[in-house]
A = this chain, B = another copy of it.
Amino acid sequence: MASLSLTAKEEMVERFLDAAARGDLPQMRILLTHTPSLINQTGYSGWTALMLAARNGHYNVVEALLSHGCDKLPVNSSLQTAYDIAKFWGHSHISNLLAQTDNSCSGVLPELYFSRETLDRQSDKRTDKAWLEAQQSDPNTVYLLFSNVNPMVSRCEEDKSSEVLDKLCRFRYDEVKDLIQKPKTKLIFLGVEKKKPSSSCSQVQEGSWEPPAWFAVGTDEDATELLKRCRENNCFFPESPNRNLLKFSEEEAGIVAHARSVLVWHDRYSFCSTCGSGTSLEEGGHKRRCLNSECRSLKGVHNTCYPRVDPVVIMLVVHPDRNQCLLGRKKSFPVGMFSCLAGFIEPGEAIEDAVRREVEEESGVKVGLVRYICSQPWPMPSNLMIGCLAIATSTNIKVDQNEIEEARWFTRQQIAESLHRGANPALMLPPSQTIAHQLIRYWICKNANL
Using a CB–CB cutoff of 8 Å, the interface residues on chain A facing chain B are 106, 112, 114-115, 117, 121, 123-124, 254, 257-262, 265, 268-278, 286, 297, 302-304, 306-311, 344-353, 357, 361, 369, 372, 374-377, 379, 381-382, 384, 386, 400, 402
Contact = CB atoms under 8 A, between A and B. Distances in A.
A306 B347 CA distance: 10
Given A123-B361, A271-B276, A273-B269, A258 B348 contact: yes
Q: How many copies of this kind of chain does the complex include?
A: 2
Given A377-B347, A379-B348, A268 B297 contact: yes
Contact of A270 (B261, B273, B350): B273
B377 A309 contact: no
A285 to B, nearest CB: 11
A381 B115 CA distance: 28
Contacts of A386: 351, 386
Nearest to A343: B123
A50 to B, nearest CB: 25
B303 A384 contact: no
A345 B306 CA distance: 11
Contacts of A260: 348
Contact of A268 (B273, B369, B372): B273
Contact of A309 (B302, B304, B347): B347
A346 B261 CA distance: 9
A58 to B, nearest CB: 31
Given A273-B270, A308-B303, A259 B348 contact: yes
A76 B260 CA distance: 53
A347 B123 contact: no
Contact of A349 (B258, B270, B310, B374): B258
A275 B376 CA distance: 30
A352 B379 contact: no
A281 B117 CA distance: 39
25 contacts: A115-B353, A123-B361, A124-B361, A124-B400, A261-B347, A268-B273, A268-B297, A268-B302, A269-B304, A270-B274, A271-B271, A271-B274, A276-B276, A303-B381, A308-B308, A309-B310, A309-B347, A309-B349, A311-B384, A347-B377, A349-B377, A349-B384, A350-B375, A350-B376, A386-B386
Contacts of A351: 375, 384, 386
Contacts of A352: 375
A374 B351 CA distance: 8
Given A121-B357, A344-B306, A400-B124, A115 B272 contact: no
Contact of A346 (B106, B309, B346, B349): B309
A162 to B, nearest CB: 26
Given A268-B302, A272-B273, A114 B258 contact: no
A267 to B, nearest CB: 8
Nearest to A112: B350
A342 to B, nearest CB: 14
Contacts of A348: 114, 254, 257-262, 377, 379, 382
A34 to B, nearest CB: 32
Q: Which of A124, A273, A277, A379 has the most CB of B within 10 A?
A: A273
B353 A117 contact: yes
Contacts of A115: 350, 353
A392 B347 CA distance: 32
A276 B114 CA distance: 32
A377 B297 CA distance: 23
Contacts of A257: 347-348
